[in-house]
Amino acid sequence: MTDEQIVSELAVILNEVAGVDQSKVSADKSFLDDLEVDSLSMVEVVMAAEDKFGVKIPDEEVKNLRTVGDAVAFIKKSA
Amino acid sequence: MTRRVVVTGLGALTPIGKNVSETWTNALAGKSGIVKLTESWADGLAAQIAGLITIDPLSVLDRVSARRMDRSTQLGVIAVKEAWSDAGSPDIDKKRLGVFFGTGIGGLSTVLEQYDILNTRGPDRVNPMTVPMIMPNSAAAMVGLEVGAQAGVHSPVSACATSAEAIAGGLEMIRNNRADIVVAGGTEACVNRLAIAAFASMRALSTRNDEPEKASRPYDLDRDGFVMGEGAGALILEEEEHALKRGAKIYGVVVGSGMSSDGYHIAAPEPEGAGASRAIKSALIDSNAKASDVIHINAHATSTPVGDIAEFKAMKSALGNALENVIVTATKSMTGHLLGGAGAVESVFTIMGLKEGLIPPTINLNNQDPEIQVKVAKNEPFKIDGNGKIALNNSFGFGGHNVCIAFSKN
């Protein structure tokens, strides 16, 4: 999967879980500050991403995933 | 002087209507909302009938907020949206806005769904919103968020008396000057395999599966239990001066309430209706009314053999001979029993009845039980002149909770 494909899959998840406008989702956006994904929604996003990409994202790793780009990098590394 | 409380907005989502207007029209037409449960999950249940709402909650709620609510909360929020908008979406200091909203069973469907996920996919797949979706105050809290209430959000839980108790609580909250407006009501949505199996196991449900529309038949000799329904009701209660000042339309007045507990049994009503009678009498005292002022009672009347008789005895003992001039109706004959939503929806019927001068019928009443000697709006709406009179709404819940709310037209 390319970075763009992962971003676009994450955008679908973010929209489904937290109502984020898909067009606003890009690698440089912060989940909390830019996309207003609160911590409970982030848990849901992580669960959905784990299912989608077949990876495991441990809790201690989630706090390092500040931006969408951080998540893309982690998913690529773990897949 | 006691602060008077008026009703300035109504909301209802019931098996006979998606809002107050449709519910009221269908009630006057004597329409049943009870249907056969044809889904495979109902296979093997003793009772395979229920009252279901006819809209998809997602046609009203946005998808993201809906996925954070159990269905019971979804229905409650929909009824509240209607009531709030009906009241003109009042511009009020949110610190003077309260909520009293309850549920009898609550997020059981979510519990079952998440328990399935827990067992099939593991603990780390359980939805992080599960707790806020299943806590008993969930509907009240979501309603509070919906209107931005900051005076206090309360969630009485008293089984099928819940939303009547919520109205009583809202009345007191305004009288005590804690708020100028209270969103009051309740909701239920537990038409699922476990809830039906459990109520059926108590032998509380009608098993007239081949005639769903005829299954809920309060006061009829052939009644054999209640029919579960889903739905919600909401009332905007407002201090009278506050309502007049903003030029709100006023449906009627909440003149008083009465509450008691049986202290008798966890599920069965006290057979002589002593506790319920005390609730009715207290409501009259609280309303400064006499028995002869009562023109109408929307009865709890769930269509169970013992419950309907105990309530008749309660009405008789509370009102004496004045009961002869009271028109009683049992709207559960059409909606089924909305449990935590019942008291609010039936208060909507009571208020509309006074306002329009028409009492909705009790349908399926072919042979009135001779032990229940009341004048019933039998199969047809009944005209009344509500001026100068009061109307009562009774609600009783498993656990021996008794609530009676008194309304007047003006």
Q: For B309-346, how does the pLDDT look when each residue is reduced to its tens digit (9 = 90+)?
A: 999 999 999 999 999 999 999 999 999 999 999 999 99
Contacts of B125 in chain A (CB under 8 A): 47
Q: Alpha-carbon Rg of chain A, whole angstroms?
A: 11
How many Å apart are CA B375 and CA B359, to the nearest integer? 12
Rounded to the nearest 10 degrees, the angle between the axes of helix B342-356 and helix B162-175 is 70
- In chain B, ranges of CATH 3.40.47.10 domains: 5-245, 256-408
pLDDT (0 to 100) of residue B1: 72
Which of B186, B50, B203, B44 lies closest to B105 in space, CA to CA?
Answer: B186
- Mean pLDDT for the stretch of residues B184-210: 98
Which residues 6+ apart lie within 8 Å of A70 measured at CB?
A64
CA distance B4 to B9: 16
Residues of B in contact with A49 (CB under 8 A): none
Cα B36 from Cα B42, distance rounded (Å)? 10
Mean pLDDT over residues B294-309, rounded?
Answer: 97
| B256-408 fold | Peroxisomal Thiolase; Chain A, domain 1 (3.40.47)
Chain A contact present for B127, CB below 8 A: yes
ipTM of the modeled complex: 0.90
A interface mutation test: which of B62, B124, B125, B126 has the most A CBs within 10 A? B124
The structure's pTM equals 0.97
Q: What is the dihedral of CA B197, B199, B204, B209, to 10 degrees?
A: -40
Average pLDDT over chain B reads 98
- Give the confidence band of B81 by pLDDT, cuts at 50, 70, 90: very high
pLDDT at B25: 98
Residue B337 DSSP one-character state:
B
Provide mean pLDDT across the span B255-264: 98
**Rounded CA gap, B208 and B220, in Å?**
14
Q: How far apart (Å, rounded) are the C-alpha atoms in residues B333 and B260? A: 25
In chain A, the N- to C-terminal Cα span, in Å, equals: 10
By C-alpha distance, the chain A residue nearest B68 is A17
- Which two three-digit tokens encode residue A55? 């990876």
Report, as residue numbers or ranges, the catalytic residues of B: 160, 300, 337
Nearest CB neighbour to A44, from listed B62, B124, B128: B128
pLDDT value of residue B250: 98
Nearest-Cα distance to chain A for B193, in Å, is 27
Cβ-based contacts of A17 with chain B (< 8 Å): 64, 67
State the helix-helix crossing angle for B193-201 and B108-121, rounded to 10 degrees: 120
CB B153 within 8 A of CB B393: no
Nearest CA in chain B to A56: B124
Structural domain containing residue A28: 3-78
The values of phi and psi at residue B150, to 5°, are: -125, 0
pLDDT at A79: 78
- CATH number reported for the structural domain that contains residue A23 in this entry: 1.10.1200.10
CATH class of B5-245: alpha beta
Amino acid B357: pLDDT? 98
The mean pLDDT of B246-261, rounded to a whole number, is: 98
Among the listed residues B44, B190, B75, the one whose alpha carbon sits nearest the alpha carbon of residue B143: B75
Chain A residue numbers touching B127 (CB-CB < 8 A): 44
Contact criterion met (CB < 8 Å) for A47 and B125: yes
Domain count, chain A: 1
- Is A19 in contact with B63 (Cβ distance < 8 A)? yes
Pairing of strands B327-329, B294-298: parallel
| Mean pLDDT value across residues B139-147 | 98
List the single residue in A with minimal CA-CA distance to B124.
Answer: A47
Asked if A44 and B127 come within 8 Å (Cβ–Cβ), the reply is yes
Distance from CA of B120 to the nearest CA of A (A): 14
- Calculate the dihedral angle through the C-alpha atoms of B187, B110, A42, B79, rounding to the nearest 10 degrees: -20
For residue B206, give the nearest of B300, B304, B299 by alpha carbon: B304
